[in-house]
Structures are given as structure tokens and as C-alpha cells.
Structure 1
């Protein structure tokens, strides 16, 4: 009943049966009126209300039913908009990307990718919207371990902006930064920080006089580049900027999409700040920051989501490094955190030969750390050695070996767990 009431009151839709299509008299006339408006008029307003409601409803219960109902609301809005003219293509694109985000959050990455790719078939969609769709599709390919496809899309994004027009100077500058940061991020994941360097050139001036063009996503990617290349002090500064800067400052047309994606940016930046503190030996600070990140991810995704396991992996690694450096006994804490993280990330059995790509290196990092904790216990050494062998076989990161990733001695050469794309950088 709540679902129908909200759609009636907030979207002005009449209903016939459970989640039936809106009646023509109440909905189609209003949609036509919305689509005759220009820019951020009523059409944009109702689209944003629809997306806000869908996400609120999906996350209210975090069940298959709540996600299905939320997606049905978006599907009905999409169906109505698709009957209108080209002036509604931006609203259509936003709904498609919102659906993509919901499918991704639900764990259905293939469908999420399909929805994001549909935006490319909207010939009258804005340049900003197409860039947002390319970013989303690139992220999804990275999560699925499809690195060649992600590289192709990042390059396509740069090409699109080199050919494109239709954006004002402030928006164009922001889009250029987004495209460069996207390509730089892909290069980092591919293990080539030197290839990423030209794409982040000049970013050190952003966030100050150019802050109007600097969004949270760009700040996060630049911080990860600094982190991966050993500039931990400046990396911390830009992670903090990623927490504070509006997700799409200077991009009013896609502000709702930025707001949807900002949860991922905020969580990843928070988690990365905890990792910076760990890598610099500030373990008390690391524990406080990562505890905050854990609370955030549980509130946003629920306590059993795989992203919770990623944050727990960072916490376990912090305790492992703390125990190594100060000689404290944290084995029981480490073991509990690693075991819970591995379970939440749905790690395959140690007997599995064909290891899935999804979260592969993060699971390998967790099992590698867990193996270290087991190997120092004489009665569990064989179990630890078996787990270590699995982790080494599963590890695919190109920038460093698993042994290097677990080595806490060299703070200038560390791995970074990105919860946004669910990869190790």
C-alpha cells in the first residue's frame, strides 16, 4: 500500500491493480506536460522524485521484493517516457542509469551493464549523460574483470569529448576531467601507473581555484593515483576532498546520477583513508576511520553485503600490520575478521580450480592475510600453507605480487582496495 500511495502523491499517478501501468488520463497527460518543458523543468523534477523513491524503497528492506518493486516503478516511468518525443531522452537516460545502479547493488552486474549501455542508443541525450553512462559501464567491466573492455570504453569516453560539443565551458572542463580520471583509473587497475600519469597531469591545481570542475569521483581517482605512487600525504588530502566535494559540481544536468553514485565514492574514500592511516603506521586513526566505514557500508548495503567483507578485509589487514610492527597479539581478531570477510565475499572453496573474476584479488588478499595468521600457529600451519597456495594462484594484480601486497615494510609501495570497483589497485 505504501508503494502505491507514494507514487500517487509524489508522481501523480493513478493505479489499476498492484503496480499496473499508470492510467492515461492521470499519467500520460502529465508526462506530456513534463516533456514539453525545457532543461530542469517538471520533467526533470518528476524523474528525480521517481529515482529518489525507487532507491529509498529498495533500501528500506534490502529484499528481493523491495528491489523488484523499485525497479518496476522505474520501468513504468521509462515506459511512459519512451512514448514521448526526443525531449525526454535525458530523463530516459537517467532512469536507465538508476536501474543500472539498482541492479548492480543487487548483484546482477550483467543486467546493470545492459541498462548502462542502452544510454548510448539515445541519439539526443546530453554529452554529460553519455559520459556518465560510459563511466558506469567502465566500472562494471572492471568489477567483472573485463579489463580490455573497460580500457576500450575509457578511450571511447576521451574520444567522445574530443569530438563533442553542446556543453558550456564549465561543464566541458568538468567532463574532460572525468574522462581523464576514468582513463587514469583503468591504467591503475591495469598495473601501469606510468601510463596513468599524463591523464592526472595538472590535477594538483584542482579542488582550489578549479574546484567548480572537480567532482568527488575525480578526486577519488586522483587520490588513488597518488596513493599507488607513494605520495601518501597528498593522497590523504584528496581522499578528504572526495568526501567533501559535491559528486557532480558543475554538472547540474546529471546531479541526480552523481548523487546515486556518491555513496560508492564516499565509502571508497573513507575506506582508503583508513588504508592510508594503516600504511603510515597510524593504527588508532586507521581503526577509527575503518570502523566508521564499516558502519557506513552496513547502513547503506546491509550487514551481509560483499562490500562489508571488503571493509572487514581492510580492518583485518590493519590488525595484521599492527601486530607485525609492534609485536602485539591480534591473531584472534585477525582470524575472526578474515573469516567473516571471506564468507561475505562468497569466496569459492579452496578446492575450486576455476576461480571467478568477481572480487578475485580482494579474496586472495584476505586469504593471504588469513594464511599468515594461521601459519604462525604450529597446529594450523598446514591449513595456512594450503590457503596461501590458493591465494597465490588466485592473485592476478599486475602491479605487485601477493607477497608484496602483504609486506608492511615498504609504505611507498602498497596495494589499495577500492570498494567502488571491487578491485585491488
Structure 2
């Protein structure tokens, strides 16, 4: 049951019309290039083991072709630009730079396939993306980090598709593949990759709704690393209410990702676990943490950067943009409740934009549940919008109908829809992970 009171979200929206219109207009404006705010120094030591492929380990011409393909595909994010980007990558896989069993060639082939799977993912071709990732398992002479990146991305895709059992099986395989390659206890690459594999299992436990079951998979030494493992660890710390440490981890992840991008080595990640997904996830997580602590200026800054990065990378109508917009809407909702002010028009605009992006497909069978991808995110957008409508006398019936739909598609195992809507009266904590479009 929704517990929002009219005193918290009053109808005093008229005074904020001007600022509201400006904010909503900014959501459809062409995003400016992302420029991350300089980050404060942290106590964490960053290293790229297991995250990057040194340029010397692959063929330079192959790296250039891969970078060109990715950049061209994202120029206007059209069918044609993605098609040409994929064509370049297909050509890369047919030339001598990626042929044979030589480790350098297999590394080149591996990162080309990672790039290809990423482009297929971005345009919604998940089955093809999975196929490209699975073909990387055969590259047994490639650097182990390439294969771990493929397994991690495969599990990440299954999580986003709601196929948690398949994701869990892939995570088990990832741990097994790494452990088979162990050489000695001082191998920094092995340490980084086993942490990454175990953190993947920890993330899956968080998705399943069991924070305590995730404990064994988050070794404290993750705080010395960057990348997806550290981001998942930060989410774990946040859910355990260790907010100061979680903030340090998020900041460290952003710093490490920025360094990787600056130095230009190929990042070993793909699909929703690629470098852009990592940076967007860290910004979004940081923004949600600042929201929970009531630091709304910092929250808006981080979430706006996440939104700009999502729009630049995926396009304004991509589901990732809808996920980030949901986090922004929840930030405005919580601020309005806490400060007893109104942001109804801003919230309505945000929720409607998310609903337009994350569409619900009505089923033909009467009484059947609707079919919807990213169902919990879509449910939050509809639930939040229903609250906005419910405080407007002439729209209450519309709000009640939307609320019922939201409750129908809500699937989270640990939280009710009310608890996930950042209710001030709830003792439970939740976080939206934009990498996998799930609520932890």
C-alpha cells in the first residue's frame, strides 16, 4: 500500500513550473561530453590487473580497427552506424591479425568478439551477443582476463534478462576457469581475477535477495581493486549500511575507470559489464547513496553525470537511460518527502519518460500478467507515477489503475514495491544497479 501523504507531495507545483520546464527540457537536449568531477584522493590502491589488456599483448592494427568500429557505431547510434561498426569487426575476425593459436592473435580475436558482443547488446540483439561471448571460451591461449570478461558479461546479460539460474551457473564456471589457471600465490593477475569471479557470485546472491549469502564472496581485499568486482562490493557495503566505505569504493572505481580510459589499454569487459557500464554504474550508485544520506546536491550532480554518460553511450531511448532516470525520479521524490516541498511536475515528467522507454506488452489472455523486461524498474516508475496522480483529485482513478499494474509486474524477492520507492518510514535499503537493470 502506498504511504505517501498529500502533505508530503502537495499540489504546490505552480511555483516550480519554470525550473521544472528547464529540467525536463534538459533531459531531451543533446548531452554534453561527460567530464567527471575531479575525485578526492582515497586510501585505496588501484591496479589494472585482470581489467586491462596491455597493448603489447594484442596486434596494434586490430586494436585500431576495434576502436574505430566502436566509435563509429556510436556516432549516431543508427541501424547504419551499428551495421558498419559490426562489419569492421567481422572483417577484423577474418584477417591474419586474429587467426591461429598465437596468444597475441587470440587476444586480438577475443577483444574483437567482446566489442562485437557489446554492439549487439546495445542494439538489443541479446542472443547474438551471447553467441559471441560464448565463442570466446574456445580461445584457450588467450590471456585469462579475456575469458573471464566474457563469462562475466554472459552472467550479466542473464541477470538483466531475469534468468538468474543461468547466471549462477556461469558464475560457477568463471570461478572454476580461474582456479584451474592458478600458478602461485604471488600472481597478482590471479588474485584480481579470482576476486572478480567471486564478486560475480556475490552480485548474484544480492540479486536473489540474500545479503548474508553474499558475505563469503566479498573478500575485503576487493577494496584494493577497481572494476566490476569493486562496484559490486560497494553495493554490498551500502546494503550492509557501511556508507562511508561504500562511498570510498565508488570513488575509487570512478578514479580507476577514468585512468583506464585515459591510458587507452583495451578494457576487458563487454555488454552491460563494459567500461561505460562500469562508470555509469558507479555514478548512479554514488548518487543513490548521496540521496539516502540527504545530500541532494551531490546526488543530483552524480546522477546527472550518469544520465549524460548513458545518453552518450546508448542513445536517449535506450533502456539504460530509463534506469538512470528512475534513480533521478526517486531522488526528487525522497527530497520532496523529506523537505515537505513539491516536485510533482518534475517527477511526473521523469516517470512518463521512463514509462515511454520501458514499455509494457499487454498479453492476449485476459487476467494474465503483462510481459515486461526490467520489470522491477518499470514497476517503480509506474508506482511512483501512481503516487503523483493519487494526490491530484481529478486523476486518482488513473493512479489506482497504474498502481495495480505496477504491483502486477513487481518481482523483487526481498522488498515490497513500497520499500523500494525509498519510503522514509521503511527500514529497508535498496539500490538500483543500472548495469543489470535490477534492484538489489
Which segment is superposed worse, 404-413 or 157-166?
404-413
Partner of 1:383: 398
SS at match of 1:86: coil
CA 1:114–1:390 in structure 2 vs 1: closer, same or farther (change >3 Å)? same
Partner of 2:199: 181
The structure 2 residue matched to 1:162, chosen from 154, 157, 179, is: 179
Query: Gaps (5+ residues) in structure 1?
Result: 1-38, 208-213
Deviation at 1:137, TM superposition (A): 0.4
Partner of 2:309: 296
Deviation at 1:144, TM superposition (A): 0.8
Maintained 8 Å contact 2:98/2:108:
no
Maintained 8 Å contact 1:247/1:262:
no
Q: Are positions 1:105 and 2:143 aligned together?
A: no
Maintained 8 Å contact 1:367/1:391:
yes
Partner of 2:340: 327
Question: How do residues 179-218 of structure 1 correspond to structure 2 at under 5 angstroms?
Answer: 179-203=197-221, 206-207=223-224, 214-218=225-229
The structure 1 residue matched to 2:356, chosen from 310, 329, 343, is: 343
Q: Are positions 1:317 and 2:327 aligned together?
A: no
The structure 1 residue matched to 2:418, chosen from 376, 379, 403, is: 403
Query: Gaps (5+ residues) in structure 2?
Result: 1-53
Partner of 2:18: none
Maintained 8 Å contact 2:151/2:171:
yes
Which segment is superposed worse, 157-166 or 265-274?
157-166
SS at match of 1:79: coil
Deviation at 1:312, TM superposition (A): 1.3
Give the structure, 1 or 2, with the largest relative contact order (CA under 8 Å, sep 6 or more): 2
Partner of 1:226: 237
Which segment is superposed worse, 80-89 or 296-305?
80-89
CA 1:330–1:247 in structure 2 vs 1: closer, same or farther (change >3 Å)? closer
Residues in 2 aligned to 1:180 and 1:142: alpha-carbon distance in whole angstroms: 16
Q: Residues 54-75 of structure 1, C-alpha deviation per residue, up to 9 Å, x if partnerless?
A: 0110011210000010001100
Maintained 8 Å contact 1:215/1:246:
yes
Q: Are positions 1:70 and 2:85 aligned together?
A: yes
- The number of aligned residues is 378
Maintained 8 Å contact 2:372/2:409:
no
Deviation at 1:349, TM superposition (A): 5.2
Q: Are positions 1:284 and 2:297 aligned together?
A: yes
Question: How do residues 35-46 of structure 1 correspond to structure 2 at under 5 angstroms?
Answer: 40-41=55-56, 43-46=58-61
Deviation at 1:314, TM superposition (A): 1.1
SS at match of 1:245: helix
Maintained 8 Å contact 1:127/1:166:
no
Partner of 2:247: 236
Q: TM-score, normalised by structure 2?
A: 0.80
Q: Residues 252-276 of structure 1, C-alpha deviation per residue, up to 9 Å, x if partnerless?
A: 9984434981110101110111111
Which segment is superposed worse, 77-86 or 60-69?
77-86
Partner of 1:171: 189
